[in-house]
């Protein structure tokens, strides 16, 4: 049985239940029990915490509660960011509280993606929320998992009052994931797309592509995007448990994969699904139309002969809360879209998985979010880093995640492992990332922790 922590607060809201359960139950293994009765709280001699506007006694664990978690609607928040023990903090207070800020309000603000509900935010060319809108980007802490760091600060204060309290921390976890946007470069494309490819290469007078295309179609060379055997060797050598996301869409401007009714793609999906979890990679326009999404999920489910419970949006294209509400309606249990296309770091301020809190209805949903820290396309195409420069950036992120025993999740594509053209040198760099992510020293922990359901 997990240890209990009694929390006094004058009003028990869904926001309070959600964030206290996340920080204490999920991060520390403590069961949280709430009371709004001051007398009950005073009489309790076990571990307890006062979250209100005033102390009930001189020697109690007390966190001054900002009004934020007692509200029921979204509105612009006037947030001032300061630094405490080398970490950014906001919802500042100095009301005799055990920390100079409200870690529960600050954590909820980031996890709920509160700022993405606000009006007048800038969207990029694909209609995506831009990192430049975010508090984390504007104040320079996008690459710090601040929620996890605040949880550590909370744990230190808690143990100062209750040193015998056993805290059940989790271990660090590396999760590589792959988006198979274009399974093959030349193979299995059909007559029309193959002819169009030839004509385009002829128009560009690209002799190298013409030679390679001809060799691949005659099966004299392997398709350059067919990097799956190499990925499988990585999986065996480093004992990885990757997740693959496959599209099942119709052909479109932004959806150019081999169609899922092609036997070659079905064979590939079935092979990978025998050894790795598979998720849906919803098409570019599917976030607007749940019926399209439902069709794509059904197609993939028929191929793998399993229920599809995981998803990551193509182009990371989502709108909160609509996209997540659509996924929930279609019984998706896990989403892996939480991150930015143009920046690396922690969009929700955390490197831990968490349940999506729907601010529209003020409830914790059944959808669990697995945030990613970086993507290959971000490093190469958006930030324009060389493999060597990217490796340095990634190493810093790994160190941040390991320091809080978090989840280090990456997105890679099969085509970026081809080691050709713009991706020359990135294949070896990716293996170096895996070596750092799997072999670097972990913080010693006494008890296991599992993400997900």
Shared domain check, 247 and 390? yes
| Strands 363-369 and 82-84, sheet pairing | unpaired
Domain assignment of residue 336, yes or no:
yes
State the average pLDDT over residues 226-237: 94
Shared domain check, 177 and 29? no
Shared domain check, 404 and 288? yes
Q: Which helix (H) or strand (E) holds 171?
A: none
State the average pLDDT over residues 239-252: 95
pLDDT > 90? residue 204: no
pLDDT in tens, 274-314: 999 999 999 998 988 899 999 999 999 999 999 999 999 99
Domain containing 433: what range?
A: 173-185+223-439
Mean pLDDT taken over the chain: 91
The DSSP line for 6-75 is EEE-SS--HHHHHHHIIIIIIHH-PEEEEE--HHHHHH--SSEEEEESS-SSSSS-EEEPPGGGG--S--
State the average pLDDT over residues 39-51: 95
**Which pLDDT band holds residue 447 (cuts at 50, 70, 90)?**
very low
Residue 210 three-state SS: helix
Shared domain check, 272 and 251? yes
The C-alpha atoms of residue 277 and residue 273 are separated, in whole angstroms, by 6
Shared domain check, 266 and 155? no
Residue 108 three-state SS: helix
Shared domain check, 75 and 47? yes
Domain assignment of residue 123, yes or no:
yes
pLDDT > 50? residue 112: yes
pLDDT at position 193: 61
Other beta carbons within 10 angstroms of residue 150's beta carbon come to: 27
Does residue 323 contact residue 313 with C-beta atoms inside 8 Å? yes
Shared domain check, 410 and 295? yes
**Which pLDDT band holds residue 211 (cuts at 50, 70, 90)?**
confident
Shared domain check, 361 and 237? yes
What is the value of pTM for the model shown?
0.92
Shared domain check, 427 and 278? yes
Domain assignment of residue 402, yes or no:
yes
Collect all residues with Cβ–Cβ distance below 8 Å to 367 and sequence separation of at least 6: 324, 327, 328, 332, 333, 334, 335, 355, 356
Domain boundary among 161, 196, 212: 161
The C-alpha atoms of residue 382 and residue 377 are separated, in whole angstroms, by 7
pLDDT at position 213: 63
The C-alpha atoms of residue 92 and residue 103 are separated, in whole angstroms, by 9
Domain assignment of residue 196, yes or no:
no
Domain boundary among 161, 196, 215: 161
pLDDT > 70? residue 199: no
Report how many domains make up the chain: 2
Domain assignment of residue 167, yes or no:
no
Question: What CATH number corresponds to the domain at position 400?
Answer: 3.20.20.370
Does residue 378 contact residue 340 with C-beta atoms inside 8 Å? yes
Domain boundary among 108, 129, 161: 161
Does residue 404 contact residue 152 with C-beta atoms inside 8 Å? yes
pLDDT at position 91: 97
Shared domain check, 156 and 71? yes
Residue 137 three-state SS: helix
Does residue 449 contact residue 352 with C-beta atoms inside 8 Å? no
pLDDT at position 446: 34
Domain assignment of residue 446, yes or no:
no
pLDDT at position 195: 54
pLDDT > 50? residue 441: no
pLDDT > 60? residue 152: yes
Domain assignment of residue 209, yes or no:
no
Domain assignment of residue 320, yes or no:
yes
Shared domain check, 401 and 288? yes
Shared domain check, 351 and 274? yes
Does residue 331 contact residue 301 with C-beta atoms inside 8 Å? no
């Amino acid at each position: 049985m997990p240890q209990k922590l009694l929390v006094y607060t004058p009003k028990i809201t869904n926001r309070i239940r959600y964030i206290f359960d996340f920080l204490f139950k999920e991060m520390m293994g403590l069961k949280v029990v709430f009371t709004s009765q001051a007398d009950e709280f005073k009489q309790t001699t076990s571990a307890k915490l006062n979250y209100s506007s005033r102390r009930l006694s001189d020697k109690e664990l007390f966190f001054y509660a900002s009004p934020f978690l007692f509200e029921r609607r979204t509105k612009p928040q006037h947030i001032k960011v300061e630094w405490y023990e080398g970490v950014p903090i906001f919802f500042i207070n100095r009301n005799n509280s055990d920390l100079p800020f409200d870690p529960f309000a600050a954590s909820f603000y980031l996890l709920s993606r509160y700022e993405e509900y606000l009006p007048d935010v800038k969207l990029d060319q694909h209609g995506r929320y831009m990192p430049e809108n975010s508090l984390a980007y504007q104040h320079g802490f996008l690459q710090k998992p601040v929620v996890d760091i605040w949880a550590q600060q909370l744990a230190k204060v808690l143990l100062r009052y209750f040193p015998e309290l056993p805290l059940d921390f989790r271990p660090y976890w590396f999760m590589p994931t792959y988006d198979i946007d274009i399974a093959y470069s030349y193979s299995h494309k059909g007559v029309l797309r193959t002819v169009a490819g030839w004509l385009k290469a002829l128009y560009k007078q690209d002799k190298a592509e013409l030679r390679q295309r001809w060799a691949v179609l005659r099966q004299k060379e392997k398709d350059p995007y067919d990097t799956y055997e190499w990925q499988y060797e990585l999986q065996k050598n480093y004992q990885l448990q990757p997740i693959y996301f496959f599209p099942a869409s119709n052909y479109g401007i932004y959806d150019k994969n081999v169609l899922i009714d092609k036997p070659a793609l079905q064979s590939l999906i079935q092979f990978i699904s025998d050894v790795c979890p598979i998720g849906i990679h919803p098409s570019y326009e599917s976030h607007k139309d749940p019926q399209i999404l439902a069709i794509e999920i059904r197609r993939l489910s028929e191929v793998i002969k399993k229920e599809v419970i995981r998803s990551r949006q193509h182009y990371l294209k989502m709108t909160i809360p609509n996209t997540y509400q659509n996924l929930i309606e279609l019984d998706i249990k896990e989403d892996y879209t939480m991150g930015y296309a143009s920046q690396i770091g922690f969009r929700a301020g955390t490197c831990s998985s968490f349940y999506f809190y729907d601010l529209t209805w003020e409830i914790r949903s059944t959808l669990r979010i697995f945030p990613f820290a970086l993507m290959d396309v971000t490093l190469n195409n958006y930030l324009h880093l060389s493999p060597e420069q990217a490796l340095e950036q990634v190493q810093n992120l790994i160190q941040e995640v390991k320091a809080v025993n978090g989840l280090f999740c990456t997105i890679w594509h099969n085509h970026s492992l081809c080691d050709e053209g713009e991706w020359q040198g990135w294949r070896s760099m990716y293996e170096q990332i895996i070596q750092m992510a799997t072999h670097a020293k972990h913080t010693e922990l006494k008890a296991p922790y599992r993400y997900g359901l």
